Structure 1
Amino acid sequence: MTDVPMTDAPLLDRSGPVDPAAETLTLPPVPAAPADGVPLAALETREVSAWFGARKVLERVSLAMTAGEVTALIGPSGCGKSTYLRILNRMHEMVRGAALSGEVLLDGDDVYRPGRRPAEVRRRIGMVFQRPNPFPAMSIRDNVSSGLKLAGIKVSREEREHLVETSLRRAGLWDEVSSRLQTPGGSLSGGQQQRLCIARSLAVSPDILLMDEPCSALDPTSTRRVEETIAELRGRLTIVIVTHNMQQAQRVSQSCAFFLATHDTPGRIVEAGPTEQLFGAPRDRRTADYVNGRFG
């Protein structure tokens, strides 16, 4: 799989005209950790519905994702979780015929408002995909710095080297690859490749990190390392993860949202709240049935 190009071409009916300004994005400093008292970015959707052509796939989804925490999206296959995740950073609009209504608010500002550049949104809201997708022939170093190029960010060579090391450290990979940064990214194990993709996303200093089943193709040991990386990133940025692994949702998240769809109704949130409550004392019987493995 290759990276989705960070195009500014509007395909989604909901989006307005794109700002013609083409200034190079300015790279913010990379802190070791958020300064005390500095709020992290919050993400919220209000009454979001989505369509692919005439088919409605999401119905009036409202959800607040707490800044600095991990929110897990759970539910059976086909209930709209991954579509919802892609709506959060405007990847939904890259599918022709896609449309949506409602608002996606990043710190209170709608990411789909007219004139807002999709590339700027995708820099602030990064994405890690289900299967690791490094550029296999590109070196580890260049894989990480390619995120800067995709986002249109220019830095000096010294700044780039600092960002490569910082991003690999934050992704929990530096100690394993620091002596072989020139080797191809494709030479790494599956779990290392996934953490390399996380490092590439972190290189552009996102406020939000979206993760679409990041461990589904990994062995248990690699899954543990990725989960450790998620735990280390918590508090530094806001994370939203789609997972089918109920134990993983309990381990890594502080909040959960349970999505459900039927053959004749689009996906919607049945219940959302603290992870401990959703798994320990769910309010809706359908939630209890799902988290206890009675369907799905």
Structure 2
Amino acid sequence: MLYGLETRNVSAWFGDRKVLDRVSLTVAPGGVTALIGPSGCGKSTYLRILNRMHEMVRGAALAGEVLLDGRDIYDPQQRPTEVRRRIGMVFQRPNPFPAMSVYDNVISGLRLAGIKADRRRKDHLVESSLRRAGLWTEVSSRLRTPGGALSGGQQQRLCIARSLAVSPDILLMDEPCSALDPTSTRRIEETIAELRSELTIVIVTHNMQQAQRVSQSCAFFLATHDTPGHIVESGPTEQLFEAPRDSRTADYVGGRFG
């Protein structure tokens, strides 16, 4: 079963500084939703709110609701570790455990999520996760080598495999290709395309061409010197790029600012 996400009037602060203002967005089950907008408009903060990482920042505060399967993930009865298992995160720069083997990197999330597995199940999870991340054929003979010995693009796909090993419903990706070369970027995009029928993906990207290539839905965030980050417009990706309703969206996707 595929799950979506819904945020209702989400606002966020770092200390006294308000960085998001009443953001409401429905992320449909399955497919890819891209979050676009200039730097500093709250996209990455919003992404971290979606799996309770925002609350880990000292002085951070939040208002509003984030619903997964109709339940607010910030409800006191919801365990943060379970929320983060169901809503995984891939960061801007690859962050495998460099001295840990490829095999152990993939299964490291099991321990953090409190999932017990025997050796046979671990072997299966490692292979299936690496296959889903498009990495198995490249590393199947190198499972015991350090994850840090892989190329940058391979490390990023290893991080995707690590997230997939705990069977998330949602995968959040914060500019996953920004530190990669064009060939590695293309492979990550192919992986995203292969995964979008299996789970729901939300990706932050500054690359307008990438947003058009990988996403089916899009949300345009904007902030000004006196206005916190907010959504100007959201909807099908094709609409936002070819027939935006707001002139600010048209200016941004057309490269006239940002």
Q: TM-score, normalised by structure 2?
A: 0.99
Partner AA of 2:182 in structure 1: P
What is the alpha-carbon distance in structure 2 between the residues aligned to residue 96 and residue 233 of structure 1?
34
Structure 1 Cα separation of the partners of residues 42 and 122 of structure 2? 37
1:292 aligns with 2:248: no
Question: How big is the shift at 1:256?
Answer: 0.2
Which residue does the alignment assign to 1:24? none
Aligned to 1:40: 2
Give 5+ residue unaligned stretches, structure 1: 1-38
Q: Deviations over 1:66-103 (max 9, x none)?
A: 10110000000000000000000000000111111110
Partner of 1:212: 174
Tell me how far apart the structure 2 counterparts of residues 66 and 116 of structure 1 sit (CA, whole Å): 22
Distance 1:95 1:44 in 2: 22
| Residue of structure 1 aligned with 2:228, choices 249, 257, 266 | 266
Amino acid at match of 1:100: L
Q: Which residue of 1 aligns with 2:116?
A: 154
The structural deviation recorded for 1:235 is 1.0
Q: Secondary structure at the match of 2:115?
A: coil
1:281 to 221, 225, 243: 243
RMSD: 0.5
Q: Read off the aligned partner of 2:24 and give its amino acid letter.
A: S
1:182-210 Cα distance to aligned partner (Å, 9 max, x none): 01101110000000000000000000000
Q: Which residue of 2 aligns with 1:88?
A: 50
Question: Mean Cα displacement is larger for which, 147-156 or 116-125?
Answer: 147-156
1:180, distance to aligned residue in structure 2 (A) = 1.1
Counterpart amino acid of residue 177 in structure 2: C
Cα distance in 1, alignment partners of residues 4 and 210 from structure 2? 23
Which residue type is aligned with residue 64 of structure 2? G
Distance 2:254 2:111 in 1: 44
- Which letter maps to 1:133? N
Q: Give CA deviations for 1:202-249 in whole Å, capped at 9, x if unaligned.
A: 000000000000000000000000000000001100000000000000
Amino acid at match of 1:294: R
Q: Does 1:175 align with 2:137?
A: yes
Count of residue correspondences: 258
2:180 corresponds to 1:190: no
Deviation at 1:153, TM superposition (A): 1.1
Aligned to 1:128: 90
Q: Which residue of 2 aligns with 1:99?
A: 61
What amino acid is aligned across from residue 271 of structure 1 in structure 2?
E
How many angstroms does 1:42 deviate by?
1.1
- Find the partner of 1:235 among 197, 202, 213: 197
* In 2: Cα distance, 1:185 partner to 1:116 partner: 32
Shift of 1:115: 1.9
Aligned to 1:53: 15
Instruction: Note the C-alpha offset of 1:43.
Output: 0.5
Q: In the aligned structure 2, how far is the partner of 1:184 from the partner of 1:74?
A: 34
Are residues 1:246 and 2:208 paired? yes
Bigger proportion of residues as helix: 2
2:96 maps to a residue whose letter is: P
Separation in 1, partners of 2:76, 2:85: 18
Q: SS in structure 2 opposite 1:114?
A: coil
Gaps of 5+ in 2: none
Deviations 1:92-123 (A, max 9, x none): 00011111111000011000011211000000
